[in-house]
């Protein structure tokens, strides 16, 4: 996504977008995944997922003996029309290359859209630290007491709307991070421009389904063991 446009979107973030117009039906595209990267070792693993025909999101996860241990990053560097939703934060360790901040962590039922406290960036950090015991340190997915941290990442992609005015579409990626392995269970996005999407929302006959509300806020994501 073009940096100048990111600045424009940040300026309008104070005006939240409606999740669904009155009487309108959201059109959501959902894809289930069974993807896992990471693990112990001297270097993290690098991988990614394809978001339909829109673009791709890259992920880095695992151990790193030369830097932060038990790290988890995400990026959209190979898809200039896409952006990740981050919370405002100072650069990681003073490194301006990570000035995008921390990956925003949404829970099932949260509305994903531009709002106060959210910025768009080409990359973000989910969890990193110098502790080998589970990634205690920086990020919104920091592992506590050895328990896996689950949630939804928010992403956007840009479309040229009416009269060439750019518009945004919103989506989510379901993730679970145990401090060593990053598991991705699926993603979804809203096809209606400038319309927020509920974290966990999937297509359902005549309605919008919510992943995991019956199974708890963590969603119905498989718990994998390292």
Domain that holds residue 50: 3-13+26-210
In-domain check, residue 226: no
What pLDDT digit, counting tens, does each position of 137-172 carry? 788 998 877 789 999 999 999 987 666 678 999 999
pLDDT at 52: 94
Q: Is residue 20 part of a domain?
A: no
Give the pLDDT confidence of 92-121 residue by residue, as tens digits: 444 444 445 899 999 999 999 998 889 999
Q: Is the pLDDT of residue 182 over 60?
A: yes
Report if residue 223 sits inside a domain. no
Question: What secondary structure, in 3-state letters, does the chain show?
Answer: CCHHHHHHHHHCCCCCCCCCCCCCCCCEEEEEEEEEEECCCCCCEEEEEEECCCEEEEEEEECCCCCCEEEEEEECCCCCCEEEEEECCCCHHHCHHHCCCEECCECCCCEECCCCCEEEECEEEEEEECCCCCCCCECCCCCECCECEEEEEEEEEEEECHHHCEEEEEEEEEEEECCCEEEEEEEEEECCCCCCEECCEEEECCEEEECCCCCCCCCCCCCCCC
Q: In this predicted model, which residue has the larger pLDDT, 88 or 18?
A: 88
- Residue 222 placed within a domain: no
Residue 220 covered by a domain: no
Residue 191 has pLDDT above 50, yes or no: yes
Whether 150 is in a domain gets the answer: yes
Domains in the chain, number: 1
Q: What is the mean predicted confidence (pLDDT) over 188-198?
A: 94
Give the torsion sign (CA, 106, 112, 118, 123): positive
* In-domain check, residue 218: no
What are the beta bridge partners of residue 216?
A: none
């Amino acid at each position: 996504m073009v940096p100048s446009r990111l600045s424009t979107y940040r300026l309008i973030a104070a005006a939240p977008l409606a999740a669904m117009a009155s009487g309108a039906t959201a059109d959501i595209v959902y894809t289930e995944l069974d993807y896992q990267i990471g693990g112990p070792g001297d270097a993290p693993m690098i991988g990614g997922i394809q978001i339909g025909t829109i673009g791709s999101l890259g992920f880095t996860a695992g151990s790193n003996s030369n830097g932060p241990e038990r790290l988890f990053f995400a990026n959209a560097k190979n898809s200039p029309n896409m952006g990740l939703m981050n919370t405002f934060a100072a650069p990681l360790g003073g490194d301006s290359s990570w000035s995008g901040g921390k990956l925003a962590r949404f829970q099932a039922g949260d509305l994903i859209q531009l709002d106060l406290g959210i910025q768009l960036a080409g990359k973000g950090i989910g969890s990193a630290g110098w502790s080998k015991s589970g990634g205690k340190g920086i990020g919104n997915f920091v592992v506590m007491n050895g328990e896996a941290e689950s949630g939804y990442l928010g992403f956007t992609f840009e479309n040229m709307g009416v009269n060439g005015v750019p518009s945004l579409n919103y989506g989510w990626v379901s993730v679970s991070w145990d401090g060593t392995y990053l598991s991705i269970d699926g993603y979804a996005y809203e096809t209606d421009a400038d319309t927020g999407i509920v974290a966990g929302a999937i297509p359902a006959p005549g309605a919008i389904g919510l992943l995991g509300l019956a199974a708890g806020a963590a969603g119905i994501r498989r718990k994998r063991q390292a």
